[in-house]
Chain A
Protein backbone atom coordinates (compact mmCIF):
# COMPACT_ATOMS: atom_id res chain seq x y z
CA UNK A 1 0.00 0.00 0.00
CA UNK A 2 1.53 3.34 -1.02
CA UNK A 3 2.55 5.74 1.73
CA UNK A 4 2.04 9.46 1.98
CA UNK A 5 3.63 11.95 -0.36
CA UNK A 6 5.37 15.14 0.70
CA UNK A 7 3.98 18.11 -1.23
CA UNK A 8 5.40 21.64 -1.32
CA UNK A 9 3.12 24.33 -2.65
CA UNK A 10 2.14 27.95 -2.29
CA UNK A 11 -1.30 28.81 -0.94
CA UNK A 12 -2.50 32.40 -0.75
CA UNK A 13 1.06 33.69 -1.09
CA UNK A 14 2.56 31.53 1.63
CA UNK A 15 4.76 28.47 1.33
CA UNK A 16 2.86 25.43 2.57
CA UNK A 17 4.06 21.85 2.79
CA UNK A 18 1.89 18.91 3.69
CA UNK A 19 1.65 15.13 3.56
CA UNK A 20 -1.15 13.41 1.70
CA UNK A 21 -2.19 10.14 0.18
CA UNK A 22 -2.06 10.14 -3.63
CA UNK A 23 -5.78 9.39 -3.75
CA UNK A 24 -6.71 12.52 -1.77
CA UNK A 25 -8.12 15.42 -3.74
CA UNK A 26 -6.76 18.92 -3.39
CA UNK A 27 -10.12 19.75 -1.79
CA UNK A 28 -9.61 17.12 0.92
CA UNK A 29 -6.05 18.31 1.46
CA UNK A 30 -7.13 21.94 1.81
CA UNK A 31 -9.90 21.15 4.26
CA UNK A 32 -8.75 18.09 6.21
CA UNK A 33 -4.95 18.26 6.06
CA UNK A 34 -4.15 21.99 5.89
CA UNK A 35 -7.26 23.22 7.73
CA UNK A 36 -8.45 25.75 5.14
CA UNK A 37 -12.16 24.98 5.42
CA UNK A 38 -13.41 28.00 3.46
CA UNK A 39 -13.39 25.91 0.29
CA UNK A 40 -16.59 23.83 0.31
CA UNK A 41 -17.44 20.36 -0.85
CA UNK A 42 -20.68 20.10 -2.79
CA UNK A 43 -20.96 17.33 -5.36
CA UNK A 44 -17.34 16.07 -5.33
CA UNK A 45 -17.51 15.37 -9.07
CA UNK A 46 -16.89 18.71 -10.74
CA UNK A 47 -20.46 19.78 -11.38
CA UNK A 48 -21.24 22.31 -8.65
CA UNK A 49 -18.14 24.52 -8.42
CA UNK A 50 -18.38 24.95 -4.61
CA UNK A 51 -14.75 23.81 -4.30
CA UNK A 52 -13.41 26.29 -6.88
CA UNK A 53 -9.87 27.53 -6.27
CA UNK A 54 -7.38 29.24 -8.53
CA UNK A 55 -4.33 27.16 -9.49
CA UNK A 56 -1.51 28.80 -11.45
CA UNK A 57 -3.85 31.58 -12.56
CA UNK A 58 -6.75 29.43 -13.70
CA UNK A 59 -9.84 28.38 -11.75
CA UNK A 60 -10.35 24.65 -11.24
CA UNK A 61 -12.66 22.49 -9.18
CA UNK A 62 -10.34 21.28 -6.41
CA UNK A 63 -12.31 18.03 -6.06
CA UNK A 64 -10.96 17.08 -9.51
CA UNK A 65 -7.32 17.84 -8.69
CA UNK A 66 -5.17 15.43 -6.71
CA UNK A 67 -3.43 16.93 -3.69
CA UNK A 68 -0.11 15.61 -5.03
CA UNK A 69 -0.64 17.71 -8.16
CA UNK A 70 -0.31 20.86 -6.04
CA UNK A 71 3.47 20.34 -5.97
CA UNK A 72 5.12 23.58 -7.10
CA UNK A 73 1.80 25.28 -7.86
CA UNK A 74 0.41 28.63 -6.76
CA UNK A 75 -3.05 28.28 -5.29
CA UNK A 76 -5.54 30.92 -4.20
CA UNK A 77 -8.48 29.91 -2.02
CA UNK A 78 -11.33 31.99 -0.60
CA UNK A 79 -9.12 32.66 2.45
CA UNK A 80 -6.74 34.59 0.17
CA UNK A 81 -9.32 36.97 -1.30
CA UNK A 82 -9.81 39.53 1.49
CA UNK A 83 -7.01 41.89 2.54
CA UNK A 84 -6.82 41.16 6.27
CA UNK A 85 -10.14 42.30 7.71
CA UNK A 86 -10.94 44.40 4.64
CA UNK A 87 -13.27 42.54 2.33
CA UNK A 88 -12.52 42.34 -1.38
CA UNK A 89 -14.98 44.47 -3.42
CA UNK A 90 -16.58 41.27 -4.74
CA UNK A 91 -17.19 40.02 -1.19
CA UNK A 92 -18.61 43.42 -0.23
CA UNK A 93 -20.90 43.41 -3.27
CA UNK A 94 -22.16 39.90 -2.47
CA UNK A 95 -23.16 41.18 0.99
CA UNK A 96 -24.72 44.42 -0.23
CA UNK A 97 -26.66 42.67 -3.02
CA UNK A 98 -27.77 39.79 -0.80
CA UNK A 99 -26.16 37.42 -3.30
CA UNK A 100 -26.17 34.53 -0.86
CA UNK A 101 -28.60 32.68 1.31
CA UNK A 102 -27.25 29.41 2.72
CA UNK A 103 -23.71 30.38 1.69
CA UNK A 104 -22.28 26.99 0.72
CA UNK A 105 -21.75 28.01 -2.91
CA UNK A 106 -20.46 31.49 -2.05
CA UNK A 107 -16.70 30.82 -1.70
CA UNK A 108 -16.66 29.13 -5.10
CA UNK A 109 -18.66 31.93 -6.69
CA UNK A 110 -16.37 34.58 -5.24
CA UNK A 111 -13.15 32.86 -6.33
CA UNK A 112 -14.61 32.29 -9.81
CA UNK A 113 -15.93 35.88 -10.06
CA UNK A 114 -12.59 37.35 -9.01
CA UNK A 115 -10.85 35.30 -11.69
CA UNK A 116 -13.31 36.65 -14.28
CA UNK A 117 -12.88 40.28 -13.26
CA UNK A 118 -9.08 39.90 -13.11
CA UNK A 119 -9.12 38.94 -16.79
CA UNK A 120 -12.14 40.87 -17.99
CA UNK A 121 -12.83 43.95 -15.84
CA UNK A 122 -16.03 44.89 -17.69
CA UNK A 123 -17.85 41.67 -18.63
CA UNK A 124 -21.31 41.57 -20.17
CA UNK A 125 -24.11 39.80 -18.30
CA UNK A 126 -23.83 37.01 -20.87
CA UNK A 127 -20.10 36.63 -20.18
CA UNK A 128 -20.69 36.56 -16.41
CA UNK A 129 -23.41 33.92 -16.70
CA UNK A 130 -21.32 31.65 -18.93
CA UNK A 131 -18.14 32.10 -16.87
CA UNK A 132 -20.10 31.13 -13.74
CA UNK A 133 -22.02 28.26 -15.40
CA UNK A 134 -19.85 25.74 -13.52
CA UNK A 135 -21.02 27.19 -10.17
CA UNK A 136 -24.41 26.06 -8.93
CA UNK A 137 -26.56 27.92 -6.40
CA UNK A 138 -29.80 26.34 -5.21
CA UNK A 139 -31.01 29.36 -3.19
CA UNK A 140 -30.72 32.67 -5.01
CA UNK A 141 -31.83 31.94 -8.55
CA UNK A 142 -28.56 33.55 -9.72
CA UNK A 143 -29.89 37.04 -10.52
CA UNK A 144 -28.57 38.54 -7.29
CA UNK A 145 -25.20 36.89 -7.84
CA UNK A 146 -24.97 38.31 -11.37
CA UNK A 147 -25.94 41.77 -10.07
CA UNK A 148 -23.30 41.51 -7.34
CA UNK A 149 -20.60 40.71 -9.88
CA UNK A 150 -21.76 43.59 -12.13
CA UNK A 151 -21.76 45.91 -9.10
CA UNK A 152 -18.27 44.75 -8.09
CA UNK A 153 -17.01 45.30 -11.63
CA UNK A 154 -18.21 48.92 -11.53
CA UNK A 155 -16.68 49.52 -8.09
CA UNK A 156 -13.37 47.95 -9.03
CA UNK A 157 -13.13 50.07 -12.17
CA UNK A 158 -13.89 53.23 -10.19
CA UNK A 159 -11.24 52.37 -7.59
Chain B
Protein backbone atom coordinates (compact mmCIF):
# COMPACT_ATOMS: atom_id res chain seq x y z
CA UNK B 1 0.00 0.00 0.00
CA UNK B 2 1.29 3.51 -0.78
CA UNK B 3 1.92 5.98 2.03
CA UNK B 4 -1.18 7.25 3.77
CA UNK B 5 -1.81 9.36 6.82
CA UNK B 6 -4.47 8.46 9.35
CA UNK B 7 -6.88 10.69 11.23
CA UNK B 8 -9.25 9.78 14.07
CA UNK B 9 -11.77 12.60 14.44
CA UNK B 10 -14.01 12.38 17.50
CA UNK B 11 -16.91 14.43 16.17
CA UNK B 12 -18.76 14.87 12.89
CA UNK B 13 -17.65 18.53 12.82
CA UNK B 14 -14.01 17.53 13.19
CA UNK B 15 -14.37 14.90 10.47
CA UNK B 16 -15.87 17.43 8.06
CA UNK B 17 -13.00 19.84 8.81
CA UNK B 18 -10.41 17.12 8.16
CA UNK B 19 -12.14 16.14 4.90
CA UNK B 20 -12.41 19.76 3.77
CA UNK B 21 -8.71 20.32 4.41
CA UNK B 22 -7.81 17.16 2.51
CA UNK B 23 -9.47 18.55 -0.61
CA UNK B 24 -10.65 15.24 -2.03
CA UNK B 25 -7.43 13.37 -1.13
CA UNK B 26 -9.12 11.44 1.71
CA UNK B 27 -11.63 8.65 2.27
CA UNK B 28 -13.58 7.77 5.38
CA UNK B 29 -13.05 4.27 6.75
CA UNK B 30 -15.60 2.30 8.77
CA UNK B 31 -14.78 -1.43 8.90
CA UNK B 32 -12.10 -1.17 6.24
CA UNK B 33 -13.06 -4.50 4.68
CA UNK B 34 -13.49 -2.91 1.26
CA UNK B 35 -11.39 0.25 1.62
CA UNK B 36 -8.13 -1.43 2.66
CA UNK B 37 -8.42 -3.98 -0.16
CA UNK B 38 -9.13 -1.15 -2.63
CA UNK B 39 -6.17 0.91 -1.34
CA UNK B 40 -3.79 -2.04 -1.79
CA UNK B 41 -5.15 -2.50 -5.31
CA UNK B 42 -4.58 1.19 -6.08
CA UNK B 43 -8.28 1.87 -6.73
CA UNK B 44 -8.19 5.23 -4.92
CA UNK B 45 -5.43 7.81 -5.11
CA UNK B 46 -5.62 9.35 -1.63
CA UNK B 47 -3.26 10.60 1.09
CA UNK B 48 -5.45 10.23 4.15
CA UNK B 49 -7.70 7.62 5.74
CA UNK B 50 -10.23 9.16 8.12
CA UNK B 51 -11.33 6.57 10.67
CA UNK B 52 -14.99 7.21 11.46
CA UNK B 53 -15.26 4.69 14.30
CA UNK B 54 -14.46 7.18 17.07
CA UNK B 55 -17.38 9.44 16.17
CA UNK B 56 -20.38 8.69 18.45
CA UNK B 57 -23.03 9.34 15.76
CA UNK B 58 -21.41 6.78 13.45
CA UNK B 59 -21.76 4.10 16.16
CA UNK B 60 -25.40 4.80 17.02
CA UNK B 61 -27.98 2.04 16.76
CA UNK B 62 -31.38 3.25 17.90
CA UNK B 63 -34.74 1.71 17.11
CA UNK B 64 -38.20 2.63 18.26
CA UNK B 65 -41.51 1.54 16.74
CA UNK B 66 -42.52 5.13 15.93
CA UNK B 67 -39.38 6.73 14.56
CA UNK B 68 -37.80 3.64 13.07
CA UNK B 69 -34.12 2.81 12.92
CA UNK B 70 -31.16 5.14 13.04
CA UNK B 71 -28.07 3.17 12.18
CA UNK B 72 -24.66 4.82 12.48
CA UNK B 73 -22.65 4.49 9.30
CA UNK B 74 -19.88 2.50 11.03
CA UNK B 75 -22.00 -0.02 12.98
CA UNK B 76 -20.71 -3.50 12.03
CA UNK B 77 -23.08 -6.19 10.73
CA UNK B 78 -22.87 -8.40 13.83
CA UNK B 79 -24.17 -5.57 16.03
CA UNK B 80 -27.14 -5.17 13.69
CA UNK B 81 -28.29 -8.78 13.67
CA UNK B 82 -27.27 -9.09 17.33
CA UNK B 83 -29.76 -6.37 18.27
CA UNK B 84 -33.03 -8.21 18.99
CA UNK B 85 -35.34 -5.24 18.42
CA UNK B 86 -33.71 -4.42 15.08
CA UNK B 87 -33.60 -8.06 13.98
CA UNK B 88 -37.31 -8.47 14.76
CA UNK B 89 -38.37 -5.25 13.05
CA UNK B 90 -36.26 -5.59 9.89
CA UNK B 91 -35.79 -9.26 8.90
CA UNK B 92 -35.32 -8.13 5.29
CA UNK B 93 -32.30 -6.09 6.33
CA UNK B 94 -30.92 -8.91 8.48
CA UNK B 95 -31.09 -11.25 5.45
CA UNK B 96 -28.33 -9.13 3.88
CA UNK B 97 -26.36 -8.14 6.99
CA UNK B 98 -25.94 -11.79 7.97
CA UNK B 99 -24.77 -13.08 4.59
CA UNK B 100 -22.16 -10.47 3.69
CA UNK B 101 -18.70 -12.07 3.90
CA UNK B 102 -18.04 -14.47 6.77
CA UNK B 103 -17.88 -14.12 10.55
CA UNK B 104 -14.68 -12.08 10.52
CA UNK B 105 -15.93 -9.67 7.84
CA UNK B 106 -19.24 -9.24 9.67
CA UNK B 107 -17.21 -8.24 12.73
CA UNK B 108 -16.04 -5.11 10.90
CA UNK B 109 -18.11 -4.44 7.77
CA UNK B 110 -20.85 -1.82 8.05
CA UNK B 111 -23.92 -0.96 6.00
CA UNK B 112 -22.69 2.61 5.72
CA UNK B 113 -19.42 1.38 4.26
CA UNK B 114 -21.23 -0.98 1.91
CA UNK B 115 -23.29 1.98 0.67
CA UNK B 116 -20.34 4.39 0.26
CA UNK B 117 -18.26 1.71 -1.47
CA UNK B 118 -21.08 1.76 -4.04
CA UNK B 119 -20.38 -1.43 -5.94
CA UNK B 120 -23.23 -2.88 -8.03
CA UNK B 121 -23.09 -6.14 -6.06
CA UNK B 122 -23.45 -4.59 -2.58
CA UNK B 123 -25.82 -6.93 -0.73
CA UNK B 124 -27.17 -4.47 1.82
CA UNK B 125 -28.20 -1.71 -0.59
CA UNK B 126 -31.25 -3.35 -2.29
CA UNK B 127 -32.97 -4.12 1.04
CA UNK B 128 -32.30 -0.57 2.26
CA UNK B 129 -33.87 0.74 -0.96
CA UNK B 130 -36.83 -1.62 -0.53
CA UNK B 131 -37.24 -0.42 3.07
CA UNK B 132 -37.30 3.26 2.00
CA UNK B 133 -33.98 4.07 3.63
CA UNK B 134 -32.36 7.48 3.64
CA UNK B 135 -28.74 8.49 4.11
CA UNK B 136 -27.93 11.29 6.57
CA UNK B 137 -24.96 13.22 5.27
CA UNK B 138 -23.00 15.95 7.06
CA UNK B 139 -20.94 18.60 5.32
CA UNK B 140 -19.55 22.09 5.89
CA UNK B 141 -23.00 23.62 5.35
CA UNK B 142 -24.89 21.29 7.66
CA UNK B 143 -26.82 18.07 7.12
CA UNK B 144 -28.79 16.75 4.19
CA UNK B 145 -30.74 13.58 3.45
CA UNK B 146 -30.51 11.48 0.30
CA UNK B 147 -32.76 8.52 -0.53
CA UNK B 148 -30.70 5.32 -0.68
CA UNK B 149 -31.78 4.71 -4.30
CA UNK B 150 -30.19 8.06 -5.25
CA UNK B 151 -26.96 7.59 -3.29
CA UNK B 152 -24.94 5.46 -5.72
CA UNK B 153 -24.21 7.36 -8.91
CA UNK B 154 -21.94 4.90 -10.73
CA UNK B 155 -19.61 1.99 -10.14
CA UNK B 156 -17.76 2.96 -6.91
CA UNK B 157 -19.22 6.48 -7.17
CA UNK B 158 -21.59 8.06 -4.69
CA UNK B 159 -23.44 11.27 -3.95
CA UNK B 160 -20.99 12.44 -1.28
CA UNK B 161 -19.01 15.61 -1.86
CA UNK B 162 -15.32 15.39 -1.02
CA UNK B 163 -15.97 17.35 2.18
CA UNK B 164 -19.00 15.29 3.25
CA UNK B 165 -19.36 12.25 5.50
CA UNK B 166 -22.15 9.68 5.71
CA UNK B 167 -23.23 9.89 9.34
CA UNK B 168 -26.09 7.42 9.54
CA UNK B 169 -28.80 5.52 7.73
CA UNK B 170 -32.45 5.82 8.59
CA UNK B 171 -35.21 3.28 7.97
CA UNK B 172 -38.82 4.17 8.76
CA UNK B 173 -40.59 1.98 11.29
CA UNK B 174 -42.22 -1.06 9.68
CA UNK B 175 -45.98 -0.65 9.30
CA UNK B 176 -48.48 -3.41 10.11
CA UNK B 177 -48.87 -6.13 7.46
CA UNK B 178 -45.51 -5.35 5.89
CA UNK B 179 -42.70 -7.73 5.03
CA UNK B 180 -39.34 -7.65 3.28
CA UNK B 181 -36.70 -10.06 2.02
CA UNK B 182 -33.29 -10.05 0.36
CA UNK B 183 -31.90 -13.06 -1.50
CA UNK B 184 -29.03 -13.45 -3.92
CA UNK B 185 -27.62 -16.09 -6.21
CA UNK B 186 -24.03 -17.24 -5.68
CA UNK B 187 -22.45 -20.45 -6.99
CA UNK B 188 -21.55 -21.69 -3.48
CA UNK B 189 -23.24 -21.69 -0.09
CA UNK B 190 -21.59 -18.63 1.42
CA UNK B 191 -18.74 -16.15 1.10
CA UNK B 192 -19.21 -15.02 -2.49
CA UNK B 193 -20.22 -12.01 -4.55
CA UNK B 194 -23.79 -11.87 -5.84
CA UNK B 195 -24.30 -12.87 -9.46
CA UNK B 196 -27.64 -11.17 -8.94
CA UNK B 197 -29.68 -10.20 -5.88
CA UNK B 198 -33.19 -9.00 -5.13
CA UNK B 199 -34.38 -6.93 -2.17
CA UNK B 200 -38.13 -6.39 -1.91
CA UNK B 201 -40.75 -5.10 0.50
CA UNK B 202 -44.54 -5.32 0.48
CA UNK B 203 -47.41 -3.90 2.49
CA UNK B 204 -50.63 -5.92 2.40
CA UNK B 205 -54.21 -4.74 2.83
CA UNK B 206 -56.84 -7.47 3.19
CA UNK B 207 -55.00 -9.85 0.92
CA UNK B 208 -54.10 -7.21 -1.67
CA UNK B 209 -50.73 -5.61 -2.32
CA UNK B 210 -51.10 -2.08 -0.98
CA UNK B 211 -47.54 -1.14 -1.81
CA UNK B 212 -44.41 -2.93 -3.06
CA UNK B 213 -40.79 -1.99 -3.74
CA UNK B 214 -38.26 -4.01 -5.72
CA UNK B 215 -34.51 -3.43 -5.95
CA UNK B 216 -31.83 -5.49 -7.70
CA UNK B 217 -28.11 -6.08 -7.12
CA UNK B 218 -25.36 -6.84 -9.64
CA UNK B 219 -27.36 -6.17 -12.80
CA UNK B 220 -26.53 -2.49 -13.51
CA UNK B 221 -23.71 -0.01 -12.74
CA UNK B 222 -25.49 0.79 -9.47
CA UNK B 223 -27.97 -1.08 -7.29
CA UNK B 224 -31.22 -0.73 -9.22
CA UNK B 225 -34.53 0.54 -7.84
CA UNK B 226 -37.24 -0.94 -10.08
CA UNK B 227 -40.06 1.35 -9.07
CA UNK B 228 -42.31 0.23 -11.93
CA UNK B 229 -42.30 -3.38 -10.65
CA UNK B 230 -43.83 -2.31 -7.36
CA UNK B 231 -46.18 0.26 -8.87
CA UNK B 232 -47.57 -2.27 -11.37
CA UNK B 233 -48.85 -4.59 -8.66
CA UNK B 234 -50.22 -2.05 -6.17
CA UNK B 235 -53.88 -2.84 -5.61
CA UNK B 236 -53.63 -6.35 -7.05
CA UNK B 237 -54.29 -9.51 -4.99
CA UNK B 238 -51.18 -10.98 -3.32
CA UNK B 239 -51.08 -14.14 -5.44
CA UNK B 240 -48.81 -15.98 -7.89
CA UNK B 241 -50.05 -14.07 -10.93
CA UNK B 242 -49.32 -10.70 -9.29
CA UNK B 243 -45.88 -11.84 -8.20
CA UNK B 244 -45.20 -13.02 -11.76
CA UNK B 245 -46.07 -9.59 -13.15
CA UNK B 246 -43.60 -7.82 -10.84
CA UNK B 247 -40.87 -10.44 -11.45
CA UNK B 248 -41.23 -10.04 -15.21
CA UNK B 249 -40.85 -6.27 -14.93
CA UNK B 250 -37.75 -6.73 -12.73
CA UNK B 251 -36.24 -9.08 -15.33
CA UNK B 252 -36.87 -6.54 -18.10
CA UNK B 253 -35.46 -3.67 -16.02
CA UNK B 254 -32.13 -5.41 -15.40
CA UNK B 255 -29.22 -4.09 -17.47
CA UNK B 256 -26.55 -6.68 -16.65
CA UNK B 257 -23.22 -7.37 -18.32
CA UNK B 258 -21.60 -10.70 -19.09
CA UNK B 259 -18.58 -11.39 -16.88
CA UNK B 260 -16.83 -14.26 -15.11
CA UNK B 261 -19.75 -14.66 -12.71
CA UNK B 262 -22.57 -14.91 -15.25
CA UNK B 263 -23.94 -13.98 -18.65
CA UNK B 264 -26.49 -11.28 -19.46
CA UNK B 265 -29.15 -13.93 -20.18
CA UNK B 266 -28.47 -15.84 -16.96
CA UNK B 267 -28.62 -12.68 -14.85
CA UNK B 268 -31.89 -11.58 -16.45
CA UNK B 269 -33.31 -15.01 -15.68
CA UNK B 270 -32.04 -14.73 -12.10
CA UNK B 271 -33.76 -11.36 -11.66
CA UNK B 272 -37.09 -12.95 -12.48
CA UNK B 273 -36.54 -15.96 -10.19
CA UNK B 274 -35.04 -14.00 -7.27
CA UNK B 275 -37.69 -11.27 -7.38
CA UNK B 276 -40.44 -13.90 -7.45
CA UNK B 277 -38.99 -15.83 -4.51
CA UNK B 278 -38.21 -12.69 -2.50
CA UNK B 279 -41.74 -11.35 -3.04
CA UNK B 280 -43.24 -14.67 -1.94
CA UNK B 281 -41.16 -14.61 1.25
CA UNK B 282 -41.97 -10.93 1.87
CA UNK B 283 -45.69 -11.67 1.46
CA UNK B 284 -45.42 -14.58 3.92
CA UNK B 285 -43.62 -12.33 6.40
CA UNK B 286 -46.21 -9.60 5.93
CA UNK B 287 -49.01 -12.06 6.74
CA UNK B 288 -47.21 -12.94 10.01
CA UNK B 289 -46.60 -9.26 10.85
CA UNK B 290 -50.05 -7.97 11.80
Contact = CB atoms under 8 A, between A and B. Distances in A.
Interface of A: 1-2, 5, 21-23, 25, 44-47, 49, 52, 55, 58-61, 63-66, 68-69, 112, 115, 130-135
Contact of A130 (B33, B51, B108, B190): B190
Given A46-B33, A66-B49, A134 B105 contact: yes
A23 B37 CA distance: 12
26 contacts: A1-B3, A22-B5, A22-B6, A22-B49, A23-B1, A23-B4, A23-B39, A45-B37, A45-B40, A58-B76, A59-B103, A60-B108, A61-B33, A64-B31, A64-B105, A65-B32, A65-B108, A66-B32, A66-B36, A68-B6, A112-B104, A131-B103, A132-B103, A133-B103, A134-B101, A134-B105
A24 B76 CA distance: 22
A103 B189 CA distance: 25
Interface of B: 1-6, 31-33, 36-37, 39-40, 49, 51, 53, 76, 78, 101-105, 107-108, 189-191
Residue in A45, A52, A61 whose Cβ sees the most chain B Cβ within 10 Å: A61
Given A46-B101, A49-B104, A52-B104, 14 more contacts: A1-B3, A2-B6, A21-B3, A23-B2, A46-B33, A58-B78, A61-B33, A64-B33, A64-B36, A65-B32, A66-B6, A115-B103, A131-B103, A132-B102
Nearest to A57: B107
B250 to A, nearest CB: 29
Contacts of B39: 23
A6 to B, nearest CB: 12
Contact of A5 (B1, B6, B37, B53): B6
B3 A59 contact: no
B37 A64 contact: yes
Contacts of A46: 33, 37, 101, 104-105
Nearest to A68: B6
Contact of B104 (A25, A44, A59): A59
A97 to B, nearest CB: 21
Contact of B4 (A2, A47, A69): A2
B103 A112 contact: yes
A45 B41 CA distance: 10
A58 B190 CA distance: 20
Contacts of A23: 1-4, 39
B33 to A, nearest CB: 5
Contacts of B40: 44-45
Contacts of B107: 55, 58-60
Nearest to A131: B103
Nearest to B7: A22
A135 B1 CA distance: 24
